[in-house]
A and B are shown apart, each in its own frame.
Chain A
Amino acid sequence: MTLVNPNIPDSIREVAADGTALRYALMEMATGPDVIALGRGDPDLATPAHIIEAAKQAVRDGLKDPTPVAGLPALREAIAHKLRIENNMSVEAENVIVTTGGQEALYLIMQVLLDPGDEILVPDPRYTSYDQAIASAGGQMVMIPTDHEDAFNLRAEAVEAAITSRTKALLIVTPSNPTGGIVTRERLMQIAEIAIKHNLIVISDEIYEKFVYAPWEHFSIASLPGMAERTITLNGFSKTYAMTGLRVGYVAAPANVIEAMAKVKAFTTGPAATVSQYAGLAAVTGPSEPVEEFKRIYTERRQVMMNYLDAMGLDYSEPRGAFFLWTNSGPTGIHATELSYLLLKEGRVLIFPGTGFGENWGGYLRISILQTTDKIKEALRRMQVVIEKYRS
């Protein structure tokens, strides 16, 4: 990929081919009080008060000592309960490990799962931290195409077409970062049949599960017959409860996978921070109203953004879940990496280019809804000014 605009600085050019590095380079440039950040997936809403209070109480009670590496027993049990009730999964505490955020869960899963040369199927576009986690374990990522016309759902036939003798696992992300798509129940059932037929492991990243917009619904593949024994479900508290900094996530999987992850985790980071785990416990056992309010707010913002993008004449994939609008910027004639840079430099708006989520996505932007509606409107107004200036 060649960036032709001479104004693109070296700090962006040098990392343009690395999605993760590109996103961080843009974030580092996005300083100053006038920048409107619609980039990173860090909720702008406050962590619910009952979670804050529970963490404070844990500190006051001196609950500071390290937990077993797999996590606080009460938290593991509470997570298992949640997955049984809400996700219809067959899970006990022994099937759960508490991780230092969902990011570490990804890393540990790949470390215990992959031998060098093993192939893992990943939908494209994707959160490029998957690339790093897979590479660190010596695995090979095989991309499965998804497309705009299908709302970036996952096609069973595309999965099956990508399977080779080296395929060990399939990664499913629902709701999807960056596309906001979901894998529907019908498709998950078809995919489950393929996984069983080909004896594949399925990794299901469900970290945005609480934010699926009507009429769509979240569905966990691990709840299907024959899937519990072959599914590793990744989830966490960061996105649902706006507590990204506390670094607490979890994995649900067969017990031997959990035991293996615990053995590795003992040497990578040790147990998750104790106070963070008490915050997680309060989150998963506490009232649902705060999350319902979050969803109401995101639903409103999503509509505002869709209305503005419609008025600007920009097409986007139907945002069925998560925080993002995966927007087709191709008609602007400006490569997404360059457009993101120009939006930041001249418009003081941080939006990630599609190339931050895969090398094939130079015609897309990922725009988050993690600002107030007033800021979203202002950001899109500035965006329009920049596009009109540079449109070719």
Chain B
Amino acid sequence: MIESLSRPLAVRVAKLPDPHTWQAGLPEAQAVAAGAIDALDKGRTHYTDRPGIGPLRERVAQQLNEQYQLGLSADEITITCGSEEAEYVALAFFLSKLAGAILTTPGDCAARVQPLADLLAVELIAWDGRAPDNAAVIYIGEPGPHSEALLQFAQDRGLPVIWSTTLNAADVGIGQQAELRSNSVLVGGLDTQLPGWRIGWLAGHKTHGGLRSYKQSMTICTPSISQWAALAMLEAQS
């Protein structure tokens, strides 16, 4: 491209790793193919409601409530294009409201979030026991002593918390943090079971309208056939 653009363009993405190859999915339940074909036959190829189809949101809310004791309603769920979109939207949304750094647990989680921080041009701080003054959002990807300390820090400072279930689906403790739940969002998805279908979710409370609008500004809605296929799988599993 014209020389005046080439170098800034390269600098802007220099820190980002080359696009990775998504892993092949597990063998799918027959229900997935049946759900997709049924949706195609019924002409479900047009825009869905921007938060996603109601039955899928209800099913996701039910699953999350069973897993994490959250008390979510379907209205507090937005279906996203993979967990990638959920994580990106959550971070981008909060950081558009609050200037500062992402504070996260050290190790694998910090390594995972670093490209997102680079993309959003913000600092990433790995928790080391000290309370940074410039933290704007907390990102928790796995349970453990660090996450407990971060939760306390978030509560003390009134900072939003993003809980990612993509790294470890074990109980991350959000269900017990009633004071935090109103300022938190859970991000997750069916990346392992259905990587090529691109299904994830945002689950939140107070901030959910803003998160939904941000997602809509990026992709309008999640692929319709993928949503019906995911619903068929979740119904078959229950």
Interface string of A198-219 (1 = CB under 8 A from B): 0101000000000000000000
Contacts of A85 in B (CB 8 A): none
B74 to chain A, nearest CB (A): 15
B178 to chain A, nearest CB (A): 30
Q: Are A276 and B223 in contact (CB under 8 A)?
A: yes
List 10 interface pairs A-B (beta carbons < 8 Å), by A numbering.
A52-B40, A201-B2, A243-B46, A245-B48, A247-B219, A247-B222, A266-B19, A268-B218, A273-B81, A275-B197
A81 to chain B, nearest CB (A): 22
Contacts of B194 in A (CB 8 A): 64
- How far apart are the CA atoms of A55 and B9 in the complex, in Å? 36
- Whether A59 contacts B46 in the complex (CB less than 8 A), given A64-B197, A66-B22, A230-B2, comes out as no
Q: Are A246 and B224 in contact (CB under 8 A)?
A: yes
Q: Are B225 and A270 in contact (CB under 8 A)?
A: no
Total interface residues in chain A, CB < 8 Å: 65
Q: Are A257 and B1 in contact (CB under 8 A)?
A: yes
Of A64, A136, A264, which contacts B16 at CB under 8 A?
A264
Q: Is A87 an interface residue (CB 8 A)?
A: no
Q: Are B40 and A104 in contact (CB under 8 A)?
A: no
Of A129, A242, A265, which contacts B45 at CB under 8 A?
A242
Q: Are A65 and B195 in contact (CB under 8 A)?
A: yes
Among the stretches A40-48, A307-315, A376-384, the one at the interface with B is A40-48
Q: Are A247 and B81 in contact (CB under 8 A)?
A: yes
Contacts of B197 in A (CB 8 A): 64, 273-275
Q: A256-B1, A271-B22 are in contact. List 5 more A-B contacts (CB 8 A).
A: A104-B218, A104-B219, A129-B217, A246-B224, A273-B198
Contacts of B16 in A (CB 8 A): 263-264, 266-267
Q: Are A269 and B84 in contact (CB under 8 A)?
A: yes
- How far apart are the CA atoms of A242 and B217 in the complex, in Å? 20
Q: Are B223 and A245 in contact (CB under 8 A)?
A: yes
A121 to chain B, nearest CB (A): 16
Q: Are A47 and B81 in contact (CB under 8 A)?
A: no
Contacts of A256 in B (CB 8 A): 1, 6, 9-10
Q: Is A317 an interface residue (CB 8 A)?
A: no
Contacts of A257 in B (CB 8 A): 1, 9
- Whether A100 contacts B81 in the complex (CB less than 8 A), given A271-B198, A273-B196, comes out as yes
Of A65, A260, A271, A276, which contacts B12 at CB under 8 A?
A260
- How far apart are the CA atoms of A50 and B194 in the complex, in Å? 25
Q: Of all chain A residues, which has the CB nearest B14?
A: A263
Q: Are B217 and A20 in contact (CB under 8 A)?
A: yes
B110 to chain A, nearest CB (A): 15
Q: Are B84 and A270 in contact (CB under 8 A)?
A: yes
Q: Which residues of A contact B (CB under 8 A)?
A: 20-21, 24, 40, 42-43, 46-47, 52, 55-56, 59-60, 64-70, 100-101, 103-104, 107, 112-113, 115, 129, 132-133, 136, 168, 199, 201, 229-230, 242-247, 253-254, 256-257, 259-260, 262-276, 279
Q: Which residues of B contact A (CB under 8 A)?
A: 1-2, 4-6, 8-10, 12-13, 16-25, 28, 32-33, 36-37, 40-41, 43-48, 50, 80-82, 84-85, 88, 92, 96, 115-116, 119, 194-198, 213, 216-226, 229
Contacts of A100 in B (CB 8 A): 81, 198, 219, 223
Q: Are A273 and B47 in contact (CB under 8 A)?
A: no
Q: Are A24 and B50 in contact (CB under 8 A)?
A: yes
Q: Are B224 and A245 in contact (CB under 8 A)?
A: yes
Q: Are B220 and A103 in contact (CB under 8 A)?
A: yes
B189 to chain A, nearest CB (A): 10
Q: Are A103 and B19 in contact (CB under 8 A)?
A: no
B12 to chain A, nearest CB (A): 7
- Whether A101 contacts B22 in the complex (CB less than 8 A), given A242-B45, A269-B82, A273-B225, comes out as no
Contacts of A269 in B (CB 8 A): 80-82, 84-85, 88, 198, 218-219
Most chain B Cβ neighbours within 10 Å, of A40, A107, A245: A245
A256 to chain B, nearest CB (A): 6
- Whether A268 contacts B220 in the complex (CB less than 8 A), given A55-B40, A256-B1, comes out as no
- How far apart are the CA atoms of A47 and B224 in the complex, in Å? 13
- Whether A107 contacts B45 in the complex (CB less than 8 A), given A59-B33, A266-B19, comes out as no
Contacts of B225 in A (CB 8 A): 55, 245-246, 273, 275-276
- How far apart are the CA atoms of A201 and B1 in the complex, in Å? 9
Q: Are A112 and B219 in contact (CB under 8 A)?
A: no
Contacts of B116 in A (CB 8 A): 267
Q: Of all chain A residues, which has the CB nearest B80?
A: A269
Q: Are B43 and A69 in contact (CB under 8 A)?
A: no
Q: Of all chain B residues, which has the CB nearest A257?
A: B1
- Whether A60 contacts B46 in the complex (CB less than 8 A), given A68-B19, A275-B197, comes out as no
Contacts of A67 in B (CB 8 A): 196
Q: Are B220 and A270 in contact (CB under 8 A)?
A: no
Of B12, B37, B198, which contacts A59 at CB under 8 A?
B37
- How far apart are the CA atoms of A295 and B43 in the complex, in Å? 20
Q: Of all chain B residues, which has the CB nearest A61?
A: B33
